[in-house]
Amino acid sequence: MKRDFLTLRDLSRVELEEIFSLAQQLKADWKEGRPHPLLRGRVLAMIFEKPSLRTHVTFEVGMFQLGGHAVYLTPSDIQLGKRETVADAARNLDRWVDAIMARVYDHRTLEELARCAEVPVVNGLSDRFHPCQVLSDCFTLIERGCNLPELRIAFVGDGNNMAHSWINAAARFGFQLVVASPRGYEPDAEVVAEARKEGARVSIGHDPAEAANDADVIYTDTWTSMGQEAEAEERRRAFRDYQVNAELLRLAKPTAVVMHCLPAHRGEEITDEVIDGPQSIVFDQAENRLHVQKAILVWLVQHNLHRRAHC
């Protein structure tokens, strides 16, 4: 069976830990000057409906470091669902490339790509989930010596795609997740219910101080995501008490770290003092997007090649 990576629920904990191990090896060897051309001659199609710094650069550089090549497709190049159907685009691309990464508005676009393509599809971001980011974040915590099941992680802000992927991660890795969002901006109840069925320790509330209390990690994200610009002023008012600042950070453990998926709107969801401070690991997260995504691509492409060889 072909494997895709649209959410963290697509892979088991054992499989995700295999990706962590591979990412650790790839990162260490690259820094020692020992590259791994594990995808030599392989091609990744990168579909972008939304612009990106980290997703674009890390996937393209990652394919280069693995000996492969990435093809960047802008909205004007492909126009999914407009110039041609998503299904037809998928059926064309899978004749030419070995994997597809898509950064889209609607998560259903990814699901249709995955249904129709014979090659693995990776979620580079959708309105519902951002699994590559959260898997990289979990790797960053492990790299710092954290035991994930022992952690209390506070997510402060919008119950958005990032919150949803953190909820999925809580189900996979067993840490305690406390989400604090303004009323009306909570994570999707279905995502929460599915995670709890799998044993996730997830609490949803509205008090950022309660979430941050004794936390090992404080995580935040922008209050206004791409596509929500018309709501920006309304969101600033709704989220004004949800800023990650020095006062909130003092409620967490002295050893707590601060994380942000970037880009940051400094002075809104997070202050300069915190994001540039000694407890911030946001740029470690950004660096690890490269190595974890390389591991995801290697795992998926090699699995698919093995599957095809035995069909």
Query: Whose CA is closest to 224, among 204, 239, 245?
Result: 239
- Report the CATH superfamily, name and number, of domain 8-130+286-309: Aspartate/ornithine carbamoyltransferase (3.40.50.1370)
Whether 130 is catalytic: yes
Active site residue 289: yes
**Comparing 8-130+286-309 with 145-280, is the CATH topology the same?**
yes
pLDDT score, position 7: 98
Of 261, 285, 291, 293, the active-site residue reads: 261
The pLDDT, as a whole number, for residue 311 is 67
**Active-site pick, 128, 130, 235, 291:** 130
> Is 36 noted as a catalytic residue in this protein?
no
pLDDT at 25: 97
Q: Alpha-carbon distance 124 to 130, whole Å? A: 7
The verdict on whether 241 is a catalytic residue reads: no
Backbone angles phi, psi at 285, to 5 degrees: -60, -45
What are the structural domain ranges in the chain?
A: 8-130+286-309, 145-280
Domain 145-280 belongs to what topology? Rossmann fold (3.40.50)
Q: What is the pLDDT of residues 173-214, one digit of tens each?
A: 999 999 999 999 999 999 999 999 999 999 999 999 999 999
Bridge partners (DSSP) of residue 179 are: 155, 204
Which entry of 4, 221, 235, 260 is annotated as an active-site residue? 221
CA distance linking residue 108 with residue 126, whole number of Å:
9
Write out the two tokens for 107. Answer: 């998560």
- What's the confidence (pLDDT) of residue 14? 98
